[in-house]
Amino acid sequence: MDPLDPSHEEALLRARMTAVLSSLALTVAMAVSGTPAAAAPAGEYVATLRVGEGANTEYFRIHLVEAADVTAAFASLNLQSNQFPNGLIVRTGPEVNVGYSWHLDPADVEFVDFTIELCDGLPSDVESGALTSDRYCPWSARVVRMTRVR
């Protein structure tokens, strides 16, 4: 085949384009499948969350048992989501929420984009009774650690 023949140049161009597109497709596939939030491991986890800023920073823990909640928590941990937890407050002991006399019901927690203001606040607001709602939904909460428990 003559290297100066236009059909030879077209064949080389097609081969280069195929290689570039294949490489791009592989890169995208690896990026999507390698996303920690998309590949959240199965099982139960304890999520440690930071609430507030500066001198008003507090931490609390949630026991997560639903796969969707685990995935959402990993997305928050990896800064891929601004969702925050909304859960039913159980005032009969800390469970995994060590340091407090309450915890969120693992069967009634979800990560959401927005809620009413009545359930927002710091963990200490729940502890002191200043937050009177039966739900806790700290808008500024960010997952800072995930620990597998089962």
Structurally, how many domains does the chain consist of? Answer: 2
Rama region for 57: left / alpha / beta (φ>0; ψ in -120 to 50; rest): beta
Tell me: do 124 and 62 sit in the same domain: yes
Tell me: do 26 and 73 sit in the same domain: no
Torsion sign, CA atoms 102, 104, 106, 108: positive
Q: What is the pTM of this model?
A: 0.71
Tell me: do 19 and 72 sit in the same domain: no
Tell me: do 80 and 15 sit in the same domain: no
Tell me: do 69 and 124 sit in the same domain: yes
Tell me: do 21 and 49 sit in the same domain: no
Structure-model confidence comparison of residues 100 and 17, the more confident one: 100
Range of the domain at 94: 45-148
76-114 pLDDT, tens digit per residue, is 999 999 999 999 999 988 899 999 999 999 999 999 999
